Structure 1
Amino acid sequence: MEALLVSTGLVAIAEIGDKTQLLAILLAARFRKPLPIILGILVATIANHALAALLGVTAGGFLQGQWMRWVLGAAFIAFAAWALIPDKFEDDEAPKDRAGVFLTTLVAFFFVEMGDKTQVATVALGAKFQSVYWVAAGTTLGMMLANVPAVLLGEAAATRIPLKYVRWAAAGCFATIGLWILIFG
């Protein structure tokens, strides 16, 4: 249960202002069809984060003892620094609407999430908790908690959220977990 709660909380906070959330807002503004967008985000996130958690669990099997503690602690502290850097959505990443709304969202979300801080955090969480299911479920829930309101409220919500403070909160969460791992193992 700890894996689910920690994964959900970290990703929900880290996702605010992230490029995938900006993608959700863009898709909502472009297509104005929230249900297929939300379903596309859900399916893409389940696939992407299940693979990331599996990679983390596998890597965690190789890194044991003190090595695992130092790698994970350092990784979470690095995520804290990364969370402070504002994301922006690049024009060349904008989705093309040749396919339906669901398929466009699914493909765009899956690929935009590759190498993103929430995906990398999912790998680290998988290594820490050694549970593909609970980590993927938690990170997917966190993504949905952050992105469903973005889809439903669109750009209006994004302009009212003080992203600077959200980034600081996300960085604080990541740093706290990193230090906790380093100190208490």
Structure 2
Amino acid sequence: MLAFITAVAIAFGFIFINELGDKTQIIILCLATRPQYSPKRLATGAVTGFAVVVTIGGLVALLLSTFVQMDWITLASGCVFIILGSIQIMKWIKERKESHGIDLACDAEGTRKFEKRSSSFLAGFLAIVSMELGDKTQVATILLASTSASFLGTLVGSWAALSVLAVIGALAGQWIARKVPTRVMEILSSIAFVLIGTIMLVGTITALM
């Protein structure tokens, strides 16, 4: 039970920090400002979409943990986390040099893709599935689940974090976006990726020696 609770807490905290202010939450926020969409149904669709994405990630993690030795999974996971974090940091530095301002305006082009959907639930569901399949968050969920002491706990924590963020995006995301700059969350999530990856690498290498 303790392993389950710990896995839920770790996955929830990690995913929440990485996704707060991310493009997916901003899209949900933008859709929620449209009069043709119900925020409640939009959030429900997004939560369902996250359940699908996390489940697919969980199945991939289960296959990995069944057929690949755990030490090698952890080693590979650490490398991937460091690479993803480093890429994000370099991207942030490059954008920082190119622009002095921070634009949190809704992406009209991205929002327009979903505006033709009459169903609020469907709009939220399609927004999440189309943007999160193969995204860094799903990769992080797969890596965490395949190396966690509680496989189910990691999936529950990941889904809970994403669901909470979807609800925040639909009901109060606009306030969050104004208070927490997107660039700040990007650099924090990048550092988190590198730190987690480094810890995993050091732990695995120490165990193999």
TM-score by length of 2: 0.78
Matched, 1:139 2:158: yes
Change (3 A) 1:100 1:161: same
For the 8 Å contact 2:47–2:166, the answer to whether it is kept is: no
Partner-residue secondary structure (3-state), 2:33? helix
Query: Quick one: percent identity of the two aligned structures?
Result: 25
Structure 2 Cα separation of the partners of residues 66 and 148 of structure 1: 37
Matches within 5 A, 1:81-160: 81-84=86-89, 85=91, 91=109, 94-129=113-148, 131-160=150-179
Partner of 2:79: 74
Q: Kindly provide the amino acid, as one letter, of the partner of residue 139 in structure 1.
A: S
Worse-superposed segment, 116-125 or 168-177? 168-177
Deviations 1:124-178 (A, max 9, x none): 1121126542222111111123232221124343133122222222122222211
Q: What residue is the counterpart of 2:24 in the other structure?
A: 20
For residue 105 of structure 1, what is the amino acid of its counterpart?
G
- Of residues 42, 47, 68, the one that matches 2:47 is 42
**Could you say what the CA RMSD is over the residues aligned between the two structures, in angstroms?**
2.4
The aligned counterpart of 2:58 is 53
What do residues 55-77 of structure 1 show as CA deviations (whole Å, max 9, x unaligned)?
11211222214422320111111
TM-score by length of 1: 0.86
Offset of 1:95 from its aligned partner?
0.9
What residue ranges of structure 1 are gaps of 5+ in the alignment? none
CA distance in 1 between counterparts of 2:70 and 2:163 reads 33
Distance 2:31 2:182 in 1: 20
Shift of 1:43: 0.8
**Contact (CA 8 Å) 1:50, 1:132: kept in 2 or not?**
no
C-alpha contact (below 8 Å) 1:82/1:117 kept by paired residues:
no
Question: Using the alignment, how far apart are the partners of 1:131 and 1:47 within structure 2?
Answer: 19
Comparing 62-71 with 175-184, greater Cα deviation is found at 62-71
Counterparts of 1:82 and 1:18 in 2: how far apart (Å)? 16
Change (3 A) 1:72 1:57: same
1:5 aligns with 2:9: yes
Task: Assess if the C-alpha contact under 8 Å between 1:7 and 1:138 holds in 2.
Answer: yes
**Per-residue CA distance 1:90-122 (angstroms, 9 max, x = gap):** 825631333310122112211211121111111
Cα offset for 1:48? Answer: 1.0
1:170 maps to which of 173, 178, 189: 189
Contact 1:57 1:127 in 2 (8 A): yes
How has the CA–CA distance of structure 1 residues 4 and 79 changed in structure 2, closer, same or farther, with 3 Å as cutoff?
farther
CA distance in 2, matches of 1:92, 1:150: 15
Length, aligned pairs only: 185
**SS, match of residue 115 in structure 2:** coil
Stretches of structure 2 that go unaligned for 5 or more consecutive residues are 93-103, 205-209
